[in-house]
Structure 1
């Protein structure tokens, strides 16, 4: 009897873990896979740069990691990971941290191998350094589906293992 329970439990957990893992081919077939990859901008002249890494989570959602650096004179930086629901390549990202009075809210628009981020709410507190903003025109540098990103602490963060609130 004990062997039967052990066998059933093993089968159950193997089925659940197989179901939770999506194959690369299945990921490529997601509607949001067309937006996957790496986008970046560089204002030049030392005024700042940014990068957004986009991962298709489902047919309607993406996960992203944004890393930004302001240029002279402060050289502040910021990074953030989040989830956005997309409709026709457009979505709204909202985030409010526990330590900020306000939050941040921006639109994301994917078109023609570009990502345009525009701030929606003037009360912009994303937890970035002073003078660091996400808005801008990001050009696509890669359309490969990323498995991970490397954050500011040089730690590999795998998209499949991220625990983000829905």
Structure 2
């Protein structure tokens, strides 16, 4: 009987040590956590404004949500979310859309407290409203890891539950 208790205790000890070693990193511990936060451009202006929320998904990937609006004369807007692999502060977002054969493609570069988005394809079509483009320089407003975002349809999406491949 004692031998069985000893074997059971040894098994529990090895199991707990093994599970502690395989613990998933907290998002704040990830390499990409240094890019996390809220970035904006054009706040308080009539020509348009935008916001990007950045969430560290793994040591090499981020999830993001972007919403942008343009002012007069069209007052259009657009939003989308996605995943980007980041290497040395740079990554490329690319997605085919139902609106075009060419799709949506841009680079994302993190420098200091800025996020620079540059369109990489002249046939840019992300499904945004007329005259709405993601490119620009976004200033970091905070480095708080966002838990969720609320899209233009007023639906709340939690980053940790996003299924980007389904979009």
Normalising by structure 1, we get a TM-score of 0.82
Q: Does 1:119 align with 2:89?
A: no
Name the CA distance, whole Å, in 2 between partners of 1:132 and 1:118. 13
CA RMSD of aligned residues (A): 1.7
Q: Report how many residues are paired.
A: 144
Once residues 134 and 116 of structure 1 are traced to their aligned partners in structure 2, the CA distance between those partners, rounded to angstroms, is: 10
The TM-score normalised by the length of structure 2 is: 0.82
Distance 1:75 1:43 in 2: 15
In the aligned structure 1, how far is the partner of 2:142 from the partner of 2:153? 23
Structure with higher Rg: it is: 2
Which consecutive segments of 4 or more residues in structure 1 shift more than 4 A?
Answer: none
Q: Which runs of 5+ in 2 are unaligned?
A: 1-22
**For 1:100 and 1:123, how far apart are their aligned partners in 2?**
9
SS in 2 for 1:87: coil
Aligned-partner Cα distance in 2 for 1:104–1:43: 25
Q: How does 1:1-166 map to 2 (within 5 A)?
A: 26-42=26-42, 45-165=45-165
SS in 2 for 1:165: helix
- SS at 1:102's partner residue? strand
Residue 76 to residue 110, structure 1, CA distance change in 2 (3 Å): same
> CA offset at residue 64 of structure 1?
0.2
